[in-house]
Amino acid sequence: MNIKLLISVVCVFAACQSFSQGLLRSPSKQVLGSNSILAVVEDRVITRAEVMKEVEPFIPQIRAAARSEFEFTSRVNAYVREIVQNMVDRELIVKEFRNKGMSIPQSYLDTHFDDYLNKEFNGDRAEFIKFIQAQGKTIKQFRAEQEKDIIVGYMQNQKRQSVSEISPAKIKEYYEANKSQWYSPASAKISLITLKTGMYATMEENRKLAAEIMERLKKGESFPELAKRFSKDDSSTKGGEWGWYKKGELNPVLDKKVFALKPGEVTEPTEIGDMIFILKVEERKEDGIQSIDDVREKIEWTIVEQNAKAMYQKWLEGLRRNAFVKYYE
């Protein structure tokens, strides 16, 4: 991506859409050194150069997804707006944290930094320094950004609503209003015996073994014990237990046979490629709308996320209203 083209794209982003409440349009062409200013939040200046560092890694995939130059420009502009707003909000959240007299213990920050260094760079400080120098940062600046990230994460979590605060009435209301979401296709809990053709057994030998296994099952021998003894897949140690599968998730040949059986019934030996399968249906669930008890946990967390998002957005809007924020074109 030509850097001059990218800079020109960033220059026109503010003309496409206002940022948020209280946006002050300005024809100002103030510069900070060689970097034009995109926003000011309190005493923090956000420059085009730092925004560009965030944008540039994503330019190739934005370009690949765009169907025209106009769409490409629009997508880059939208991404730039998002980055600038995130930077503004980040500063406001950190300010609110500090205004409340809170702080992060230095020992916690040190441990967090060391964990990052070990996880991302295998403890190699030299490689880490190369990484931040390529971004035009110092270790002090990097650690300051880490601290801000921790603060933002902490403040976001404070705005989350506890699951225990979701009333049964609210859960039922959501369930009734969104019943179509809870449709589930038929499913079956299955166990499996797999016979593989290879170095230790021919297909003909496995056919004979499969017939022997079927005879043993008819005489009342345990499917799990036979799976442990004869099956040649990872589930053998668990007695062939494979768990639940929805209709359509299995191989089409096996799927058709499994969903024609009742719980406790076993398929005939089924050959697919160089393997032979014998499946047992342990349990069955028919298709239909899942009960509220089956989806209660999903509903609880969905409502929690919705409420948390609304509360967080309302809180952010309050921070923006009570702060000095100015956006430049």
For the segment 277-304, what is each residue's pLDDT rounded down to a tens digit? 999 999 999 999 988 998 999 998 898 8
- Angle, CA 248 vertex, CA 183 and CA 301 arms, to 5°: 35
Query: CB neighbours (10 Å) of residue 76?
Result: 23
The β-bridge relationship of strands 241-246 and 187-196 is: antiparallel
pLDDT band, residue 310 (cuts 50/70/90): confident
Q: What is the mean pLDDT of residues 87-113?
A: 94
Q: Is the pLDDT of residue 218 over 70?
A: yes
The confidence score (pLDDT) of residue 117 equals 92
C-alpha 143: how far from its chain's center?
26
Q: Is the pLDDT of residue 247 over 70?
A: yes
Task: Estimate the crossing angle of helix 3-11 against helix 48-55, to 10 degrees.
Answer: 120
CATH topology of domain 186-286: Chitinase A; domain 3 (3.10.50)
Bridge partners for 325 per DSSP: 41
Residues of the chain with CATH 3.10.50.40: 186-286
pLDDT band, residue 163 (cuts 50/70/90): low
pLDDT band, residue 2 (cuts 50/70/90): very low
- Angle, CA 153 vertex, CA 151 and CA 156 arms, to 5°: 105
Q: Is the pLDDT of residue 4 over 80?
A: no
Q: What is the mean pLDDT of residues 28-45?
A: 69
Query: 10 or 258: whose pLDDT is higher?
Result: 258
| Residues 120-132 pLDDT 10s | 999 999 999 999 9
Coil, helix or strand at residue 122: coil
Coil, helix or strand at residue 226: helix
